[in-house]
Homo-oligomer: A and B are copies of this chain.
Amino acid sequence: MDNKLLYYFNKWVKLTPEEEEIIKSSFESCAIKKKKDLLEAGETCKYVYFITKGCLRSYFVDDKGNEHIYQIRMDNSWISDLQSFFTQKPSHYYIEALENSELLRISFEQLEKLYTRIPKLERYFRILFQKAYINALERLNATMWDSAEDRYQTMLKEQPDMFQRVPLVYIASYLGITPESLSRIRKKK
C-alpha cells in the first residue's frame, strides 16, 4: 500500500503487523476526477476519506445560490462531512475534487467494526479530532476578530502550498471574503 495512512496511525498508536493488515483491508481505494463531486447536499455521507494525493473542497450553497467553502484539503489529510457521517443523515454540504485525486475510504459500518477490533484506534481519532477542534476554534477567532488582510497574510505564511494549487476564487471563499476583496488585498503589497 503506497500511502502514508499507516504511518500517521503509527505516529500516535503502536500497531502490530496483524492490526495493520486489518486496517488495510478495512479501507478501499478510490479515485475521483477534477470537478466531480465526492458528496452532494441531500445525500448521506457514507465514508470518511483519507486523501493520498490530490486536492478537494467542502462547501455549502446558501439561499441565494452562492457557494461558501469551509474546507480545502490536500495530500495526507482526512475529508468527510462528519455531521452526516456520524448521524447517517443527509448532508448539507458538497465535497468536490479540485484536482484528480486518489483516496482511501472507509464506511460507517466498517469504521465501527474497526473500532471494536482495534480499540486503540479510538485514541488516534480522539487526538485527531482534538487537534481539528483546537484548529477550528483558532480559525473561528481569526474570522471574528482579524481583518481580511490579516487572515490572508496568515494563510500565506501557514499554507503557502495552497496558493500554488488552488484558484484564488476558492481561497477567497475559504477566507470568508469575495474574490474582489482578495484581489484588492493582494494589490496593496
Contacts and interface: CB of A to CB of B under 8 A. Distances in A.
Contacts of A130: 82, 86, 125, 129
Given A115-B123, A119-B120, A119-B122, A141 B60 contact: yes
A133 interface: yes
> Does more than half of chain A's interface fall in helix, strand or loop, or is it mixed?
helix
A132 B136 CA distance: 10
Nearest to A123: B122
Interface in A114-139: 115, 119-120, 122-123, 125-126, 129-130, 132-134, 136-139
Residue with the greatest number of chain B CB neighbours at <10 A, chosen from A70, A132, A141: A141
This chain: copies in complex: 2
Interface in A69-86: 70-71, 82-83, 86
B70 A141 contact: yes
Contacts of A125: 126, 130
Interface residues of A, number: 30
8 contacts: A70-B141, A70-B144, A119-B120, A122-B122, A129-B129, A129-B130, A129-B132, A140-B143
Given A68-B141, A68-B145, A119-B122, 10 more contacts: A70-B140, A70-B144, A82-B130, A120-B122, A122-B126, A123-B126, A129-B129, A132-B133, A136-B137, A144-B176
